[in-house]
A and B are shown apart, each in its own frame.
Chain A
Amino acid sequence: MVTSGLSLGLSSIHHGYTINQDFQAAVDNVTLNIAAGEFVALLGPSGCGKSTLLRLIAGLEAPSRGKVSSDGLPILEPNPERVLMFQDPTLFPWRTVRQNIALSQDICGKRDEAAIDGIISLVGLKGFERAWPHQLSGGMAQRAALARALINHPRLLLLDEPLGKLDALTRLTMQTELHRLWKERSFTAVMVTHDVEEALFLATRVITLSARPAKILSDIKVNLPFHRHRDDPEVLQLRKSILTQLGHRDDW
């Protein structure tokens, strides 16, 4: 089954949080349109409000001002079409791997055992269906979380630094896998990361954000063919200019 991605529209989004009675702006006037099937990487310094943007798109929170819409319709609440994947696997410890992956099916009340089997082998967790989350390694747990996110063929995958806590080699494998799944299933993907290389390896478009409150600094189309190599001169050139924009000209 091939799903088609959905398109996103963010128009003049303002958002913030009240911490100890002080209003702290997190997102400042962000306007952004994402076409169906794009893979967008949001790059920015840590704590700049990137995750807040994802929560707004997921519908977990409503923006203070501005409008978020998907396929032209306003986003008012979470919807299984838009799935958010976190930095931590956040698997439910009281469910086995298989039960965790089947979570969204349990929520909507329709179990499809064949689909569960399919996604388990797709992410390479065959043989671990009956394991408890605490028995998994970090990479395996994140694969299970990925399978849980993808089981119901979401049209938008929101990734909040999903590979941030993995070791370098597992990260490489998972990046390749994410790319393959995105190609196969053609969902729209928005990924928050602070790894420029990861963004350039996966994304069709890289958006850099300023420090808190987040403002869009630049919007770069990555017109390079896949399969990209990390030592490709064009990749290196882009990497240099993005890092310069983020204020790390001398650090890389």
Chain B
Amino acid sequence: MSGTNATSQRHINDRSLTRASHDRPTAVISWLAGPVWLAVALLTWRWPDADDFPNTSLLAALFAFIGVILLAATTTGFLKKRAPWALAIGIFLGGWEVAQAKLLKLPRPFFGTPQDLLDVFITDWSRLGNSLLHSLGLLAVGYLVGSVSGIAIGIGLGRSPRFRYWVHPLLRAIGPLPPVALLPLAFVLVPSSFLAGEALMILASAFPVAVLTWSGIASVDPAYYDVARTMGASRSFLTFRVALPAAMPQIFVGLFMGLGASFAMLVVAEMLGVKAGLGFYMQWAQGWAAYPNMYAALIVMSLMCTGLITLLFKVRDRILIWQKDGLKW
């Protein structure tokens, strides 16, 4: 008995040892992140620019501010897991600043300097913000209408043979077609480019949602229906309180795919017809060779897309809380 105790004691010690040795570099990195940002700030401020770039001292102040925040976060113990990333971003920004703003090593005008990017956000934030709102509006309407109709079509396909008879061939004919292919037609048929963009986004998101809702409903264990039926369940109970919740995991796969498809459709619609939004902004920036603006729009768009995907996963985690395990975004 005492023997096994001793062994387990040693195991625990081993584990805590490995944990400590694993913790040490993280702790060092954590203490390194703030000073590196401060050093980058000093470099930016003191090393003269190679050309006339705007906002150099403001950028230096921003770096210094972030450095101070990181230091504070380290002392209060907030910065642990993310410390390596904070350090890496600091080194990347410092390297970029030195390579371009101080030494002009990258081809211009495709590569701007960090100050150019900062300048875009300072001078053009209202247009960027408006573009973001416009894109979000276009996306929200198209995606929501598309998803809801996709779920409705999927339920119809899964639960009603007559609906399936008429709609399945249509789905097979239209669904696999990339919505982009309908773009020229849509801009001719639909009176406004905004509505045409919406129509295509609805198409893009409805198809995967419909197919996966249907597949989810088709694979529901028939015993679930038997259980509910022996208790006197109506058809609508079987559809909405048995089939639909059972199909939820698949429906969320469809919603995820549909969201990706609507992102693509959003950018294409905004680049080719809709005269507003982030896609339009990027198109415009590229036309004027305003590359920093293009990068800025790209950053905003990336934040928007990842934010929306995160939101979708949060909703999924809420609704599918009953699942044993799931992918964490």
- Whole-angstrom distance between the alpha carbons of A93 and B247 in the complex? 11
In the complex, what residue of chain A is closest to B320 when comparing beta carbons? A94
Q: Is A108 an interface residue (CB 8 A)?
A: yes
| A103–B227 touching, CB < 8 Å | yes
Closest to B221 in A: A90
Question: How many positions in chain A have a CB within 8 Å of any CB in the partner chain?
Answer: 28
Cross-chain contact of B232 among A80, A84, A86, A90 (Cβ < 8 A) = A80
Picked from B223, B245, B324, the residue with its CB within 8 Å of the CB of A134 is B324
Q: With a CB–CB cut-off of 8 A, which chain A residues contact B231? A: 78, 80, 83, 103-104, 107-108, 152
Looking at the assembled complex, report how far the CB atom of A41 sits from the nearest CB atom of chain B, in whole angstroms. Answer: 20
Is there a chain B Cβ closer than 8 Å to A117's Cβ? no
Within 8 A of B (CB), among A80-104: 80, 82-84, 86, 88, 90, 92-96, 103-104
The verdict on A58 contacting chain B, using a C-beta distance below 8 Å, is yes
Q: Are A94 and B221 in contact (CB under 8 A)?
A: no
Q: Which B residues touch A184, using CB under 8 A?
A: none
Tell me whether chain B's interface is mostly helix, strand or loop, or mixed.
Answer: helix
User: Could you give, for residues 194-228 of chain B, a 1 whenever the CB lies within 8 Å of some chain A CB and a 0 otherwise?
Assistant: 00000000000000000000000000010110111
Interface size of B in residues (CB-CB distance below 8 Å): 21
A76 at the interface (CB under 8 A from B): no
Question: A94 is contacted by which of B232, B234, B246 (Cβ under 8 Å)?
Answer: B246
Q: Which of B226, B232, B246 contacts A92 (CB 8 A)?
A: B246
Query: B322, A107: Cβ atoms under 8 Å?
Result: no
> A182 on the interface (CB 8 Å rule)?
no
Contact assessment for B248 and A86 in the assembled complex, using a CB-CB cutoff below 8 Å = no
A-B contact pairs, 21 of them (CB 8 A): A55-B226, A60-B229, A78-B229, A78-B230, A80-B230, A80-B231, A80-B232, A82-B230, A83-B231, A86-B226, A86-B227, A88-B223, A90-B223, A90-B224, A93-B322, A94-B246, A96-B322, A103-B231, A104-B231, A107-B234, A132-B322
What per-residue 1/0 map shows which CB atoms of B230-268 lie under 8 Å from chain A? 111110010001100110100000000000000000000
Contacts of A134 in B (CB 8 A): 322, 324
Which 10 residue pairs are nearest across A and B when measured between Cβ atoms?
A: A104-B231, A94-B245, A80-B232, A90-B223, A84-B230, A78-B230, A94-B322, A107-B233, A78-B229, A132-B322
Report Cα–Cα, A95/B241, bound state, in Å: 10
Q: A95-B322, A107-B228 are in contact. List 10 more A-B contacts (CB 8 A).
A: A60-B226, A80-B230, A84-B227, A84-B230, A92-B227, A92-B242, A92-B246, A103-B231, A107-B232, A107-B237
Report the nearest A residue to B237, measured CB to CB: A107
Q: Please, which residue of chain A has its CB at the minimum distance from the CB of B225? A: A60
Contact bitstring A58-85, B, C-beta under 8 A = 1, else 0: 1110000000000000000011101110
How far is it, in angstroms, between the C-alpha of A133 and the C-alpha of B230 when the chains are bound?
20
Find the B residue at minimum CB distance from A55.
Answer: B226
Q: Is the CB of A92 within 8 A of B245?
A: yes
A78 lies within 8 A of B232 (CB): yes
- Cβ contacts under 8 Å, A55 to chain B: 226
Interface string of A120-143 (1 = CB under 8 A from B): 000000000000111000000000
Q: Determine if A106 is an interface residue (Cβ-Cβ < 8 Å).
A: yes
Q: Which one, A79, A84, A93, A152, contacts B226 given CB within 8 A?
A: A84
Flag if B246 contacts A60 (CB, 8 Å): no
Query: A93 CA to B227 CA in the complex, in Å?
Result: 13
Give CA–CA (A149, B324) in the complex, Å.
Answer: 25
What residues of A have a CB within 8 angstroms of the CB of B233 in the complex?
Answer: 107
Nearest CB on B from A162, distance (A): 13
User: Interface code A145-166, partner B: CB below 8 Å = 1, 0 otherwise?
Assistant: 0001000100000000000000
A108 neighbours in B (Cβ, 8 Å): 231-232
Residues from chain A with a CB closer than 8 A to the CB of B322 are 93-96, 132-134
Q: Mark B86-130, 1 if CB is under 8 A from A, else 0.
A: 000000000000000000000000000000000000000000000
Provide the bound-state CA to CA distance between A80 and B228, in Å.
9
Q: How far is the CA of A103 from the CA of B226 in the complex (A)?
A: 13
Closest to A79 in B: B232
Given A107-B237, A132-B322, A134-B324, do A90 and B230 touch, yes or no (CB 8 Å)?
A: no
Most chain A CB neighbours (cut-off 10 Å) among B224, B230, B242: B230
Which of B227, B237, B241 has the most CB atoms of chain A within a 10 A radius of its CB? B227
CA A95 to CA B237, docked complex, whole Å = 15
Cα–Cα distance between A207 and B223 once the two chains are bound (Å): 26
Q: In the assembled complex, how far is the CB of residue B218 from the closest CB belonging to chain A, in whole angstroms? A: 17
Task: Give chain B nearest CB distance to A189 CB in angstroms.
Answer: 15
Closest-by-CB residue of A relative to B321 is: A132
Shortest A60–chain B CB gap in Å is: 6
Q: Are A83 and B230 in contact (CB under 8 A)?
A: yes
Residue of A nearest to B223 (CB): A90
Question: In this complex, which of A55, A94, A132, A133 has the most chain B Cβ atoms within 10 angstroms of its Cβ?
Answer: A94
Could you tell me the distance between the alpha carbons of A93 and B246 in the complex, rounded to whole angstroms? Answer: 8
In the complex, chain A residues 200-236 whose Cβ is within 8 Å of any chain B Cβ: none
B224: A residues at CB distance < 8 A = 90, 92
Q: Which of B221, B226, B227, B241 contacts A106 (CB 8 A)?
A: B241
Please measure, in the bound complex, the distance between the C-alpha atom of A110 and the C-alpha atom of B245, giving whole angstroms: 21
Residues from chain B with Cβ under 8 Å of A148 in the complex: 227
- Measured between beta carbons, the chain A residues less than 8 angstroms from B226 are 55, 60, 84, 86, 90
Separation of A58 and B228 alpha carbons in the complex (Å): 12
Partner of B227, one of A90, A94, A96: A90
